[in-house]
Amino acid sequence: MHSLAMIFGILLVLGVVLDAFQTIILPRRPAGRFRITSLFYIVTWTPWAALARRISDDKQREQFYSIYGPLSLLLLLVVWAFLLINGFAFIYFALGSPFNDAMMTQFRGMRFEIWTDLYVSGTTLFTLGLGDVVPRLPVARAVIIFESGVGLGLVALVVGYLPVLYGAFSHREVSVALLDARAGSPPTAAELLSRHGFDGGDEALVILLAEWERWAAELLESHVSYPILCYYRSQHDNQSWLSALVAILDACALLIASQLPDAAHRVPTRQAQLTFAMARHAIVDLGHIFKLDPKIKLLAATPQDRLAPNDFRRLCAALRPTEIQLCGDPDSADRLSQLRAMYEPNAQALGHYLGLNMPLWITEPRKTDQWRRVANLRSTPHQPNATQSHISSNSTAATLHPGDHDH
């Protein structure tokens, strides 16, 4: 029995240390199906998402979803600490509970020895150093020293892990927030392209797509290394990293699929191809992270059309001022369909798993859209009322008549 306890304890400690190394330190996606972190998120996320889907109010549901990311991080640390305490307790038990415990001298039996082993393991892991339980064997002292080092290392990893995690989250959300004025909220491809239909808009669009190409690469690097970031929600209910990424993919697909009238408009298409490739790479790899391949294959076989015929006609009408020729060209429509099939199943599978809504291709403009309010003020200059003046009636200038200055 003691031999089994020793083997189990060593495997438990090594499993936690390896899992913490792969989750926090290893910069690439770890392999293996039986990782503690993966099992933890499978066990906790499935019931959490099921409860969230039962909430009918959109704001309350998003609030419930938003709690999971930070809470799961704390719970994961608790799980690691709990498993380490039990793993070292099994090792102490396998050594015959070699401790002088003044409190337990009046008690005899295996269950009291186990409580002493758990107490020693807990106080050692958290480096309390109370000294009320003294080891009798040299090997027990060596294990205690090793466990205290593991405890210090766990604390150091947590202290270093949190700033990196929240730094990546904050960096991700800055670009998502900036897209609000450029593509609406929630963002749509039609709004993004129509708001760049001004003189010099092509150059601005190239700069924007280049920024999102880099953003997608940074998203791929950070979220593959730290998949927990995918559970972190944006600060606003109508924004999310996934809807922003899909809106950019939609806009790139429209630019690639459409027929542009002259060579001057081919520059956005080139950048659109680069951004599309990088953004699709990110969304495909994140689907692999959460093992959504069966769901993706099912959606690819029975696609859920995000662009109904009526919406397609509205999209063509909205893009007409931008000189993007989409309707009336069968080749463009066919190219758009092929491009959508390359990323929409992956995006829909991720959205269903994470509880994030897919953006529409085109929506009715919202009355509360701040960008449109500012644009309308700019495009319709205020005409001053002839009966009103910013000059006070008591002002000398207001009472002067033509010719008064001659006197």
With contact defined as beta carbons under 8 Å apart, do 333 and 284 qualify? no
Q: Which 3 state secondary structure label does DSSP give 192?
A: helix
- CA distances in angstroms from 163 to 29, 156, 171, 231, listed in the order given: 20, 12, 12, 17
Q: What is the mean pLDDT of the chain?
A: 83
pLDDT of residue 377: 61
pLDDT of residue 395: 41
pLDDT of residue 134: 82
Give CA angle at 114 (110, 116), nearest 5°. Answer: 120
Which pair of tokens denotes residue 359?
Answer: 């953006």
Say if residue 398's pLDDT is above 60.
Answer: no
Enumerate the domain spans of the chain.
2-136, 166-364
Dist CA 358 CA 48 (whole Å) = 20
Instruction: Give the max Cα distance, the chain.
Output: 118
Dist CA 67 CA 50 (whole Å) = 14
pLDDT in tens, 239-271: 899 999 999 999 999 989 886 555 445 558 889
Dist CA 188 CA 258 (whole Å) = 17
Neighbour tally for 370: CB within 10 Å: 11
Q: Concatenated DSSP letters for 194-236?
A: HTT-STTHHHHHHHHHHHHHHHHHHHHHHHHH-GGGGGPPPSS
Q: Concatenated DSSP letters for 225-246?
A: H-GGGGGPPPSSTT--HHHHHH
pLDDT of residue 335: 87
Which pair of tokens denotes residue 364?
Answer: 């009715």
pLDDT in tens, 22-78: 888 876 665 655 688 889 999 999 999 999 999 999 899 999 999 999 999 999 999
Angle formed by the axes of helices 138-183 and 2-20, to 10°? 30
Residue located via tokens 């001298």: 105
Dist CA 264 CA 251 (whole Å) = 18
pLDDT in tens, 320-373: 777 666 666 677 788 888 999 999 999 999 999 999 999 999 887 665 666 666
Give CA angle at 403 (399, 404), nearest 5°. Answer: 45
- CA distances in angstroms from 285 to 172, 222, 225, 297, 340, listed in the order given: 17, 12, 11, 15, 17
Which pair of tokens denotes residue 193?
Answer: 């392209």
b/e per residue 208-245 (b: at least 16 CB within 10 A): bbeebbebbeebbebbbbbbbbbbbbbeebbbbbbbbb
pLDDT of residue 35: 82
**Kind and range of the H or E run holding 143:** helix 138-183
pLDDT in tens, 141-156: 999 999 999 999 888 8
Neighbour tally for 9: CB within 10 Å: 23
Q: Using the 8-state DSSP alphabet, how is residue 129 labeled?
A: -
pLDDT band at 309 (very low <50, low <70, confident <90, very high): confident
Paired with 134 in beta bridges are 100
With contact defined as beta carbons under 8 Å apart, do 279 and 214 qualify? no
